[in-house]
Amino acid sequence: MTMRHLMTAGAIVAALALLVWVFRPAPVAVETARVTRGDLTVSIEAEGEARIREVVIVSAPITGLLQRITLHPGDRVEAGQSVAQIGPVSPALLDSRARAVAEATAAAAAAAVDLARSQLVQAEAMRDFARTEADRARALFDRATLSQRLLDDAILAERTATANAASAGANLSVREQELQSARAMLDSAADPAAACCIGVAAPVGGSILRVVTEDAQVVQAGTPIMELGNLEDLGIVAHVLSRDAVGIVEGAEATVTGWGGADLAARVDRIEPSAATRVSALGIEEQRVEVRLSLREAPPPALGHGFGVTARITVGQAKGIVTVPIAALFRLGGDWAVYTAEGGRAALHRVSLGLRNDDLAEVRDGLGEGDRVILHPADAISEGARIAP
């Protein structure tokens, strides 16, 4: 082969190599992270609110006119302290026709009293006369100048007259009460303050949470007036999805956040046995369970009854385990998988996972400590693809 042929062949090879180098795929730029060993805590978050465990509602004990309440939410009261006053209701005003009827009724009642009083005087006179006649008949009977029949008639007349006098006295009392009732109907200007007022006492000591009925008004018996509670007896109620609540146990550690202050340590006291349907912010109906938490320390003064909070409840913990960032995981069929960076190329690994939270997952099989995994693998990455970490 001549030198000319060798030079031509070399030029062709060089041109081909240059074309391969120019048109070969560029390495895919990736972000990587190390598989490390450490501790992992799994928790769930749920919206909730701060609640006083025992809220006492003070109600009206009787129907009447509630006086204006001068206490306000936040005021402290002691057990037995009067927090409200209830008096009698003012009588209804009479129109001209009703007043005329009432005056006529009162006049008739007064006349009935006079008649009953006259009947009483007559009955008493008849009683005294019958008593005298009975005494005379007894004296004559003792001297045997009067028959037994006439004596019995005199005694009967005495007893009848005595009963008539008693009946007349009772009738007079009835008529006098009717007169008082008729006059009371006319007394529309009576001052109800004379009988005011019945005090409503606080059954427990604490702070006023809410005044339900503040202005002076007529209330029925049992009408709520105000709510009382002890702000030091504050707990947390978290509304947890029912599928998450099954993994919570009593005594689990929790953290209260999102209320506007520092995080508060808490623990799970009770998981309610029933769920309720609640509508989420997206309008989705969800079954949520109330999980009640107690604070590890005294509640801060700034945290009040009904304040919104976020509860982060621990449902699992592990120490000294191999963990991989969640951002490196993706689904491959029914398995979890990751890409590792090995010698400038991507290598596919199927992994077996354990505990997971929002940031890390426990690796039980498929990776080792120190392996470098590719975060957020794009569609351009495949087994053996060139990468540029």
Give SS3 for 352. strand
* pLDDT recorded at residue 192: 46
* pLDDT recorded at residue 179: 85
Give SS3 for 107. helix
330 and 379 Cβ atoms separated by less than 8 Å: no
User: In sequence order, which residues have a C-beta less than 8 Å from that of residue 12 and are 6 or more positions away?
Assistant: none
64 and 89 Cβ atoms separated by less than 8 Å: yes
Band of the pLDDT at 193, cuts 50, 70, 90? very low
Mean pLDDT score of the chain: 86
* Of the candidates 125, 207, 116, the residue with the CA atom closest to the CA atom of residue 167: 116
Dump the DSSP string for 153-170: HHHHHHHHHHHHHHHHHH
* pLDDT recorded at residue 249: 92
CATH of domain 44-53+231-318: 2.40.30.170
The CATH fold assigned to 56-87+199-229 is OB fold (Dihydrolipoamide Acetyltransferase, E2P) (2.40.50)
* pLDDT recorded at residue 183: 82
329 and 373 Cβ atoms separated by less than 8 Å: no
For the ranges 12-26, 230-244, 295-309, 319-333, the lowest mean pLDDT is seen at 12-26
77 and 200 Cβ atoms separated by less than 8 Å: no
Tell me how far apart the 2 most distant CA atoms of the chain are, in Å. 194
330 and 68 Cβ atoms separated by less than 8 Å: no
386 and 48 Cβ atoms separated by less than 8 Å: no
Q: Looking up tokens 């009460």, which residue turns up?
A: 177
Band of the pLDDT at 294, cuts 50, 70, 90? very high
Q: For 370-379, how does the pLDDT look when each residue is reduced to its tens digit (9 = 90+)?
A: 899 999 888 8
* Of the candidates 66, 172, 72, the residue with the CA atom closest to the CA atom of residue 118: 172
Query: Structural domain boundaries of the chain?
Result: 26-39+319-388, 44-53+231-318, 56-87+199-229, 96-189
* pLDDT recorded at residue 295: 93
d(CA 101, CA 87): 29
For the ranges 158-172, 194-208, 215-229, the lowest mean pLDDT is seen at 194-208
Return left, alpha or beta for 342; rule: phi > 0 is left, psi -120 to 50 is alpha, else beta: beta
For the ranges 16-25, 138-147, 214-223, the lowest mean pLDDT is seen at 16-25
CATH class of 26-39+319-388: mainly beta
d(CA 50, CA 235): 6
Report the C-alpha dihedral over residues 257, 263, 267, 271, rounded to 10 degrees.
-10
Asked, colleague to colleague, whether 44-53+231-318 and 56-87+199-229 share their fold, the answer is no
